[in-house]
């Protein structure tokens, strides 16, 4: 059932009205074209657009527009249009500054991720040819990330879409490394502990490299013999690490990353108090990564589903205190989540500041904006807008799916946040 459009004169505007600006996104100073008016300043900015009429939604408004008689009594002409135009120009400039800062952050993050992924791939490919040299390179990679992450200032965790293909081991190792280091910062680990944790996570599946890829990359159900072989990878990796005289805590992570707090894990069926404290951190990041990016992508959960599944169904398998820290860091809707907002717009959560998990950045479906430089918003600034639900790709309308083009696999990386320009009015 369609609803009749309702229009009013600009002079009838008042706070509490829900309006629609029938303009292109860059033709006005607000983040959204549809919103509820909050104050007189916004009314001045709308009137400065010189529209003959404004579309409004009675169903979503808190009150009626001003009567036409009152509107007529309001000066029809702005006596100093150049002054009233200035706030709009300033807001547009602030909006552009914020968008530019966000695009810079995403670009820098993608560049750093690509560099780290290339180095991780090279290390993985050559690790058994020259272990000392490649373990030194792995330490350098991890130490650089730890030093950057633990530096002063807030960080933002970004989600990037991996190109189609297999769940390559080096990408999964890099993902778990980044997630564990985010946890390390939130848990206030020392630099040395964070570096041991990072190296252990980066090398946690080194034993998998000694198992044929026809088994490790198999998308069908594993046979009993294949599963038994897969479950030997912690022992294989530990043996390699001992031969290379890795630190004890690094060895414990390689050996124990599939142990569970309830004793249901492998290879030793250890319980929580028996599991190394760094290995307990690693186990949570590794489990989250495997739920989001399994070998068989058909079985993948959304980031939102993975967190919920871990907390509701798998909670007994993890150190619950650390699991709660992960949820706090990622927020209810982690980076990579496809969402629908309370105003029915679609988007993808592209980054979150672990210290402000309720203020994620969302890339919006906005067909009037070129996807090469999409519309990004900080929900912390959008007081009237919130996330209403999380969606899977097959729940998106075709045009939205084409525009947002979410990848099948999610990669994580981080960068330090720039200071934001002053918040926008919507």
What pTM, to 2 d.p., does this model score?
0.78
- Specify the residue for token string 């960068």: 415
Report residue 251 as tokens.
């060895």
The residue ranges of the chain whose pLDDT is under 70 are 1-3, 24-27, 29, 31-32, 69-96, 98, 152, 161-168, 383, 417-426
User: What is the per-residue pLDDT for 165?
Assistant: 45
Name every residue whose Cβ is closer than 8 Å to that of residue 120 and which is 6 or more positions away in sequence: 141, 170, 171, 173, 174, 202
Rounded-to-integer distance, Cα 338 and Cα 318, Å: 26
pLDDT given at position 127 = 97
Q: Write the pLDDT tens digit of every residue in 133-159.
A: 999 999 999 999 999 998 867 788 888
Nearby residues of 410 by Cβ (< 8 Å), 6 or more positions away: 159, 160, 161, 162, 175, 292, 293, 303, 335, 336
Structure confidence at residue 252 (pLDDT) = 99
Q: According to the model, what pLDDT value does residue 168 have?
A: 67
CA angle 233, 236, 239 (to 5 degrees): 150
Residue 410 bridge partners (DSSP): 161
Rounded Cα gap, residues 7 and 53, in angstroms: 6
Q: How far is CA 77 from CA 49, 90, 102, in A?
A: 12, 22, 38
pLDDT at 2: 47
Q: How far apart are CA 115 and CA 412, in angstroms?
A: 13
330 token code pair? 């990622």
Cα of first residue to Cα of last residue in the chain, in angstroms, is 29
Taking a C-beta distance cutoff of 8 angstroms, is the pair 291, 310 a contact? yes
Would you state the pLDDT for residue 77? 44
Taking the C-alpha atoms of residue 115 and residue 145, their distance in angstroms, rounded to an integer, is 12
Pairing of strands 155-162, 34-36: unpaired
State the sign of the Cα–Cα–Cα–Cα dihedral 88, 89, 92, 98. Answer: negative
Predicted local confidence at residue 180, as pLDDT? 96
Render pLDDT for 170-191 as a digit per residue (tens, 0 to 9). Answer: 888 999 999 999 999 999 999 9
Give the H/E segment covering residue 206: none
The whole-number pLDDT of residue 20 equals: 86
Give the whole-angstrom CA distance, residue 275 versus residue 263.
Answer: 10
Domains along the chain with CATH numbers: 6-79 (no CATH), 92-332 (1.10.3210.10)
What is the rounded CA–CA span in Å between residue 290 and residue 66?
57
pLDDT at residue number 269: 98
Q: Indicate the burial class of 98 (C-beta count within 10 angstroms; 0-12, 13-18, 19 or more).
A: buried
What angle, 0 to 180 degrees and rounded to 10, lies between the N-to-C axes of helices 131-149 and 81-126? 160
pLDDT of residue 234: 98
């Amino acid at each position: 059932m369609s609803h009749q459009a309702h229009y009013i004169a600009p002079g009838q505007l008042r706070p509490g009205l829900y309006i629609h600006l029938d303009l292109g996104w860059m033709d006005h100073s607000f983040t959204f074209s549809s919103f509820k008016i909050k104050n007189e300043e916004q009314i001045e900015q709308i009137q400065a657009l010189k529209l003959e009429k404004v579309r409004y939604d009675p169903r979503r408004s808190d009150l009626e527009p001003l009567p036409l008689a009152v509107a007529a009594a309001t000066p029809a002409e702005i006596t100093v249009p150049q002054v009233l135009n200035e706030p709009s120009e300033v807001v547009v400039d602030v909006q552009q500054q914020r968008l530019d800062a966000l695009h810079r952050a995403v670009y820098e993050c993608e560049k750093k991720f690509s560099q780290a992924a290339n180095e991780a791939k090279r290390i993985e490919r050559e690790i058994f040819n020259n272990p000392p040299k490649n373990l030194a390179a792995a330490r350098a990679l991890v130490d650089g990330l730890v030093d950057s992450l633990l530096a002063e200032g807030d960080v933002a965790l970004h989600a990037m879409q991996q190109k189609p293909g297999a769940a390559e081991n080096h990408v999964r190792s890099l993902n778990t490394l980044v997630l564990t280091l985010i946890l390390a910062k939130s848990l206030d680990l020392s630099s040395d502990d964070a570096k041991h944790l990072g190296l252990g996570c980066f090398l946690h599946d080194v034993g998998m490299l000694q198992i044929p890829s026809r088994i490790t990359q198999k998308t069908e159900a594993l046979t009993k013999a294949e599963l038994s072989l897969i479950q030997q990878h912690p022992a294989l990796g530990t043996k390699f690490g001992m031969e290379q005289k890795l630190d004890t805590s690094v060895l414990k992570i390689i050996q124990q990353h599939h142990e569970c707090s309830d004793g249901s894990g492998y290879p030793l069926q250890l319980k929580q108090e028996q599991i190394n404290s760094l290995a307990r951190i690693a186990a949570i990041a590794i489990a989250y990564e495997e739920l989001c990016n399994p070998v068989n992508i058909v079985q993948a959960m959304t980031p939102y589903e993975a967190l919920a599944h871990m907390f509701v169904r798998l909670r007994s398998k993890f150190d619950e205190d650390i699991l709660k820290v992960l949820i706090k860091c990622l927020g209810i809707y982690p980076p990579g989540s496809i969402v629908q907002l309370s105003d029915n717009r679609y988007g993808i959560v592209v980054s979150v500041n672990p210290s402000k998990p309720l203020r994620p950045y969302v890339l919006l479906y906005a067909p009037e904006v070129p996807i090469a430089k999409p519309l990004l918003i900080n929900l912390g600034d959008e007081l009237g807008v919130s996330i209403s639900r999380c969606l899977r790709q097959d729940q998106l309308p075709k045009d939205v799916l084409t525009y947002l083009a979410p990848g099948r696999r999610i990669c994580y990386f981080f960068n330090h946040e720039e200071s934001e320009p002053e918040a926008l009015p919507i």
